[in-house]
Structure 1
């Protein structure tokens, strides 16, 4: 399989600490790749290595099937990035800020107007950037990353610190860039809820190691559903359901059944009513992606602890 971006045993070590440990990232053209992990997991360090901002201790990075180390200048011309907070001159307006970068990149002057339109800042081009909201500054940072007509866009925590409206703006912008501009996008975040709403694929990093990598749908398939039924005669109801061959758990004043369909729920309710058992509440619960994410992280931590103890 051909990958647009691929890392092989990518490692960064400071002293005895491996901040990034043999990471294998594989990204195909057109994907929005959510690079997910807790704060301090190694996301930014990995991204900095992928952009040539720091040198890997070990491992290899490939773009378009070519080694990054030997083709750095050519490759970076096809990559736009926003790492942490965007840099700008507060006393200048958006157009003037982009003009500085345009001259460095050597692109046509008309590109400034194009990228400002793409990120939704064409109405505020003459306004000083120091008067921008945080969300507008983030969009200006993305506009800067788009100036050079990149094929790949790498964004490190682009929604960090934004209010809900700003987060939604950036999220919608990222999806539009992938759909309308045909970009391949890497978005790092510590919030699965954000990644879930824009990514097509996800890689989860924990303590420097990539512990999950697949399409977002595969992560959703790990979700389980359960029905919690609160009844008056809990033990009688539980015995009744057990007698019907149902796998259920007795918990205080309620009964929990996992992964059952709607018709089975209807049958259970009908059976309880026929046996004069009062039903107070039937509650549906589906494991959220956030819970799945935390479980993956916890399982990885437990595996590491067991390995160390041996």
Structure 2
């Protein structure tokens, strides 16, 4: 379990404030709360129930030793995947020993989760102002990708400076277009917070239900899937967000860079930049019209 180079051979040697004091961890996410910034698991489950969004599968970004995942599993039977890094302490090992599901994933990496698969994404203390703004925006965009319609995004004690909250992070979060269920701010009163003049933000947001973006494309993909399933051909449809952001721009430039190495890849998803795709769509609808008209005539005969 412990690497030969490690200066510790037991969890008892690790600092308690890093999440390895199990007696203290057992009381986290339970009432009573210390301030309005806290959100307990019972409160979270009640809010989810009130908004008709059951929580069955969740992701905890920067989840430390997995305390939130353990509490959700114990109290509600929810499976929570914990992404964490073994930076200064064996967080992944601690989560695994607690019979949880840890993932060794850095914040700037795309989440290894299928689109629209999760009911909840929680961002813990690891998500804060020290993350570059483009990387932070990419993380929010990727959280939007993996959340289903009606899913919850929880920024838990995100900290930054007040001017940055107003000028950078509030507009960045607002671009998602989510409904606000909780938005609470408070001073960060530890030594670092007082020295840097930082504030906390706890926000619980819900991804809109009934978003019409891409409904036509989804219907087209489902129709094609029904035609091709007999040939064991399966389709997956991935739609980009309707927002132009630094994080998305960085992701697009990376994707285009990869596609330039493969001449067969389509480098542009837009019809104006890819006229062949527009022609294919026109041909598809023409053939569909011919098939429908022919079927109607045959049925009359």
Q: TM-score, normalised by structure 2?
A: 0.27
Q: Highest relative contact order (Cα 8 Å, sep 6+), 1 or 2? A: 1
Greater percentage in strand: 1
User: TM-score, normalized by length of structure 1?
Assistant: 0.26
